[in-house]
């Protein structure tokens, strides 16, 4: 095992490939002036296999377990809050409803300040400590400044956070509590970055260069190391590491995927993985300079002057050279740039929260909305191993997602000064709380898995009570008994099939008004389709439950 103090770290220019030792680096390539450079580690005679197997035995979890390939010379300078080592959660309900076998969610919300920016802060602040920097200026839409403020507090480094107008005040307060100086501008993110830069210059403070900083890219690459290690554990019993087929992320400046790409490339050069994942780069429709350029097959993006999105985290209008790097990566390794609207993102947040129990911030909602599209467009295939960067927690923006009806108030003032609520009043309060104006839905489906999935999806709609039946005969009995507001039925079932259920319902005057949605995996004949179109409200193909149409159909039917 190499010792950190003897580690050789060089920087390679991403443009002309000139090598400069890290210790001599002055912020740009001495040959061509390019500011984006990549760290290269001389690992000398390290045996990669014993390094890999030694990791789990000898090292603590967290991103510093990969310290051999991080740009810190002396481990005493490491400032850590146990960042990294976030779980790679295998999705069940969401995966099934998308028809995916291997959908993994890299839960970056579980970092110390609830976003993957903690990786960046940990490495960058440690690096600043090693260089003896005392004050750092950072422009941020929120999460970077929060993370820098927390790690800065631990390191005794003063953080100045510059925020654009769009950044939610809740996020600014979160940064302020760690003692950061907070400056909010009336400009957009790109203008705010310029202001921060001129402030730093005039004060002689260190300016964090974000994506152009070696520490940031190196920090983000640790996600690739963790994913490869975790996928290897899950799919190969830890015998080896592996790359996913896809890595997806909602992108602003692009630091995440650039770092992750570098990480997988490094792992491939060590012989630890055999390929690089394709990238799904997802931007907010109101600020999607990369997506627009990609559509035009251009390697240079045209900046978006006025981002039209409330998703501040993703509002980088001018991606600069970062887009070129990602464009080249996708050209070489596959992938796609696509956008999702704010509404699609908010819808995805609800779906994810209710299917998987994960509450995410809007930027991550954009990522999942993009996932749905890539699957629906057939770009991501059913057997692909997909990893989604679940980049940040909703907190503190739930209120934008929940609307007004998210809580029920129990008025207890009537009970006067009595220390207890009288039995009578209490019962009526409980009754009221239970009465959510429920709509009844009967689901007839013989496949257990599909039935479970459908009732989960339905029950995630607030006011829905689901009655399950596993064959047509039982289904009809339930329908007669509960008189539902909606029936959803499979077609192919033993004995009484979906066609027979429909016939029976349409022949019964008391049932014929109840709308029926047919969900089927069957290729329908022309005749069957015509008959169904007369009797059923809607015919849906299985495996398209996330379809916006399906959700809006249910919402319209049920509210
Ligand atoms: C910063 C951030 C992003 C965008 O990341 P980049 O890789 O820098 O484009 C996405 N989600 C969250 C939660 C973030 O904080
Ligand atoms: Zn150069």
Contact between residue 544 and residue 524 where contact means Cβ atoms under 8 Å apart = no
- pLDDT tens digits along 66-85: 999 999 999 999 999 999 99
Residue 206 CA, ligand 1 centroid: distance in Å = 22
What pLDDT sits at residue 170?
A: 87
Distance CA 220, CA 256 (A): 6
- Cα torsion at 77, 266, 334, 240 (round to 10°)? -110
Which H or E element spans position 8?
strand 8-13
Average pLDDT over residues 256-273: 96
Nearest to 247 by CA among 262, 266, 269: 262
CA of 190 to the centre of ligand 1 (A): 15
**CATH fold of 423-558:** Rossmann fold (3.40.50)
Could you tell me which residues are beta bridge partners of residue 115?
Answer: 392
CB atoms within 10 A of CB 51: 17
Task: Give the pLDDT of residue 430.
Answer: 46
**Does the structure show a pLDDT above 50 at 4?**
no
Contact 247, 208 (CB under 8 A): no
Determine what percent of the chain is predicted with pLDDT higher than 70.
Answer: 87
Q: Per-residue pLDDT for 422 more than 50? A: no
259 Cα–ligand 2 center, Å:
19
Can you list the positions of beta strands (E) in 91-178?
A: 102-107, 135-139, 158-163
Same CATH fold, 423-558 and 91-111+238-401? yes
Dihedral in degrees, nearest 10, Cα atoms 147, 149, 154, 158: 150
pTM score of the predicted model: 0.81
Ligand nearest to the CA of 25: 2
Query: Which residues make Cβ contacts (< 8 Å) with residue 502, sequence separation at least 6?
Result: 489, 516, 518, 532, 535, 536
Containing H/E element for 259? helix 255-269
User: By the 8 A CB rule, do 389 and 248 touch?
Assistant: yes
* Domain 91-111+238-401: CATH class, spelled out: alpha beta
Distance separating alpha carbons of residues 345 and 359, to the nearest angstrom: 12
Cα–Cα distance for residue pair 466/455, rounded to 1 Å: 6
Domain boundaries, the chain: 91-111+238-401, 423-558
Mean pLDDT in residue range 464-479: 91
Is the pLDDT assigned to residue 542 strictly greater than 50? yes
**Mean residue pLDDT across the chain:** 87
Q: Candidates 148, 218, 366, 391: which one to mutate for ligand 1, based on the most atoms within 8 Å of Cβ?
A: 391
Residue 348: burial class (beta carbons within 10 Å; 0-12, 13-18, 19+):
buried
pLDDT of residue 385: 98
- Ligand 1 binding pocket includes 313 (Cβ within 6 Å): yes
SS (HEC) of 232-250: HHHHHCCCCCCCCCEEEEE
**Which tokens go with 409?**
């108030």
Q: Which of 151, 379, 190 is nearest to 282 (CA)?
A: 379
Task: Output 63 or 414, whichever has higher pLDDT.
Answer: 63
Taking CA atoms only, the protein residue closest to ligand 1 atom 7 is 256
- Residue 115, ligand 1, Cβ within 6 A: yes
- What is the distance between the alpha carbons of residues 198 and 191, in angstroms, rounded to a whole number? 11
pLDDT in tens, 270-297: 999 999 999 999 999 999 999 999 999 9
Pair 137, 205: CB distance under 8 Å:
yes
DSSP calls for 166-203: TS-HHHHHHHHHTT-EEEE-SS-HHHHHHHHHHHHHHH
Q: Give CA separation, 290 vs 31, 110, 220, 284, in Å.
A: 29, 28, 20, 10
Nearest C-alpha neighbor of 85 from the set 104, 66, 71, 72: 66
At a CB cut-off of 8 Å and minimum separation 6, what does 143 contact?
Answer: 113, 115, 117, 171, 313, 392
| Higher per-residue confidence, 142 vs 494 | 142
| Torsion (CA) 191, 192, 197, 202 in degrees, nearest 10 | 100
Report residue 76 as tokens. Answer: 């005493």
Instruction: Measure CA 224 to chain center.
Output: 15
The answer on pLDDT for 453 being more than 90 is: no
The answer, yes or no, to whether residue 108 has pLDDT greater than 90, is yes
Q: Is residue 515 reached through a cis peptide bond, with omega within 30 degrees of 0 on the bond before it?
A: no
Q: Is the CB of 259 under 6 A from ligand 1?
A: no
Average pLDDT of 208-237? 94
Q: How far is the CA of 326 from the centre of ligand 2 (A)?
A: 18
Round to whole Å and give the CA distance between 72 and 93: 41
Sheet of 278-284, strands arranged across? 88-90, 102-107, 385-390, 246-250, 278-284, 335-340
CA distance 385 to 380: 9
- Establish whether residue 113 lines the binding site of ligand 1, counting it when its CB lies within 6 angstroms of any ligand atom: no
Residue 256 CA, closest ligand 1 atom number: 7
Cβ-based burial of 447 (10 A; exposed 0-12, middle 13-18, buried ≥19) = middle
In 14-56, where do the E strands start and end? 19-21, 37-42
Assign 60 a pLDDT band (cuts: 50, 70, 90): confident
The encoded tokens of residue 111 equal 């970092």
């Amino acid at each position: 095992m190499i010792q950190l103090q003897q580690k050789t770290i060089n920087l390679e220019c991403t443009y002309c490939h000139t090598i400069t030792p890290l210790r001599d680096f002055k912020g740009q390539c001495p040959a061509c002036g390019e500011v984006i450079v990549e760290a290269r580690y001389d690992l000398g005679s390290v045996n990669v296999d014993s390094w890999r197997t030694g990791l789990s035995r000898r090292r603590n979890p967290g991103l510093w377990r990969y310290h051999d390939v991080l740009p810190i010379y002396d481990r005493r300078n490491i400032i850590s809050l146990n960042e990294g080592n976030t779980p790679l959660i295998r999705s069940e309900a969401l995966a099934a409803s998308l028809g995916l076998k291997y959908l993994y969610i890299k839960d970056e919300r579980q970092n110390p300040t609830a976003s993957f920016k903690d990786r960046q802060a940990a490495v960058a602040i440690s690096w600043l400590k090693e260089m003896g920097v005392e004050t750092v200026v950072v422009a941020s839409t929120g999460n970077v400044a929060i993370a820098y403020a927390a790690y800065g507090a631990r390191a005794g480094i003063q953080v100045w956070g510059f925020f654009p107008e769009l950044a939610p005040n809740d996020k600014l307060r979160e940064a302020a509590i760690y003692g950061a100086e907070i400056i909010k501008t009336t400009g957009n993110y790109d203008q705010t970055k310029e202001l921060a830069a001129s402030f730093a210059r005039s004060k002689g403070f260190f300016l964090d260069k974000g994506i152009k900083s070696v520490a940031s890219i190196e920090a983000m690459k640790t996600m690739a190391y963790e994913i490869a290690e975790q996928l290897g554990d899950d799919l190969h019993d830890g015998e080896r590491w592996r790359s996913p087929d896809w890595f997806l992320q909602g992108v602003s400046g692009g630091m995440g995927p650039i770092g992750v790409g570098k990480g997988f490339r490094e792992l491939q050069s060590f012989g630890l993985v055999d390929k690089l994942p394709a990238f799904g780069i997802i931007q907010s429709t109101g600020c999607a300079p990369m997506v627009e350029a990609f559509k035009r097959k251009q390697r240079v993006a045209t900046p978006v002057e006025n981002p039209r999105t409330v998703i501040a985290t993703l509002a980088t209008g001018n991606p600069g050279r970062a887009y070129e790097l990602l464009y080249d990566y996708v050209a070489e390794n596959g992938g796609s740039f696509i956008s999702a609207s704010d509404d699609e993102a908010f819808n995805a947040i609800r779906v994810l929260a209710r299917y998987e129990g994960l509450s995410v911030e809007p930027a991550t909602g954009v990522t999942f909305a993009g996932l749905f599209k890539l699957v629906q467009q057939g770009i991501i295939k059913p057997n692909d191993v997909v990893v989604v960067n679940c980049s940040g927690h909703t907190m503190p923006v739930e209120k934008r997602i929940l609307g007004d009806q998210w809580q029920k108030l129990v008025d207890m003032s009537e009970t006067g000064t009595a220390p207890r609520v009288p039995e009578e009043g209490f019962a009526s309060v409980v009754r009221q709380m239970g009465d959510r104006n429920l709509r009844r839905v009967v689901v007839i489906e013989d496949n257990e898995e599909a039935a479970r999935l459908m009732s989960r999806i339905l029950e995630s709609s607030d006011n829905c009570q689901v009655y399950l039946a596993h064959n047509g005969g039982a289904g009809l009995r339930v329908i007669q008994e509960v008189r539902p507001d909606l029936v959803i039925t499979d077609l192919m079932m033993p004995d009484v099939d979906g066609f027979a259920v429909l016939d029976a319902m349409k022949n019964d005057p008391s049932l014929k008004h109840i709308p029926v949605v047919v969900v089927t995996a069957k290729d329908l004949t022309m005749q069957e389709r015509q008959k169904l179109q007369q009797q059923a409200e809607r015919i849906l193909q299985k495996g398209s439950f996330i379809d916006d149409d399906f959700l809006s159909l249910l919402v319209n039917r049920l509210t």
